[in-house]
A and B are shown apart, each in its own frame.
Chain A
Amino acid sequence: QVQLQESGPGLVKPSQTLSLTCAVSGDSIISSGYYWSWIRQRPGKGLELIGYIYYSGSTYYTSSLKSRVTISVDTSNNQFSLKLNSVTAADTAFYYCAREVHGDYYFDCWGQGTLVIVSS
C-alpha cells in the first residue's frame, strides 16, 4: 500500500524559502499514470492545489503561486519536493503531498500533512 510522508521545517521566517519533501513508499514514483502533487490548507480554510510533477520532470503550477513555486522529483530516492520562496504569513498552512491519478483527476493517496508557520 502506497504511503506518503512529508518532512521539513515547521517554522520559516518571512521572505525566506519554504522547503518540503515527500517520501513515497509502497510504490515507485516512476509508475506511469500518476502525478505527484502538493496541496495546502490554510488554518480553518479549504484545500488549494499548489502544483504537480510527473516523474519525467514535467510540472504544473497553479497560477496564483507560479512565480514562487518549484516542484522537483528525485527518482533515485523515490521522493519529490516543494520549494516556495519569498514566503509571508499568508503562506502559513498545512501542506499535503498527494498522488493524483492522471486522466481521472483525483487524489487517491495523501500524506498526513505538515504544518508550516511563517513567522519571525
Chain B
Amino acid sequence: QSVLTQPPSVSGAPGQRVTISCTGSSSNIGAGYDVHWYQQLPGTAPKLLIYGNSNRPSGVPDRFSGSKSGTSASLAITGLQAVDEADYYCQSYDSSLSGSWVFGGGTKLTVL
C-alpha cells in the first residue's frame, strides 16, 4: 500500500482532458513538500514530467500541467494523444518515515 494514493486507471478519448489525482497526508504533501510526476511509457524507464508541483522540464509539452492544494496534487493532460498512453506516478517527501521519498502506486492512462 503506497503512502501516496492514486487511482489505478483513468481513460479518455483523443483530444480530451484528463486529470490524475495524488492524495497524501500531513506528513508529506500537506506538510508543504513538493509533488513531482513521472511518465513511464510501456517498456521504458520513468521520465520526469513535472517537478516542484507545476514546473515542466525542457522538452515536456505544455499539454501537461500540475497543481497542488492541501494534502493533494493533480496532473492534468489536455489535448490527449495516443502517445500519452502510459503509467503516471506522483512522488513526494515524507517526514514520518525517517525522511524518505515516497511514490504513489501509479495510474494507468488509456487513450480510447
Contacts and interface: CB of A to CB of B under 8 A. Distances in A.
A108 B102 CA distance: 15
Contacts of B52: 104, 106
A60 B99 contact: yes
A112 B41 CA distance: 12
Interface of A: 46-49, 60, 62-63, 96, 100-101, 104-113
Interface residues of B, number: 27
B98 A107 contact: no
Contact of B89 (A46, A63, A100): A46
Contact of B47 (A46, A104, A110): A110
Contacts of B91: 47, 105-107
A108 B57 contact: yes
B97 A63 contact: yes
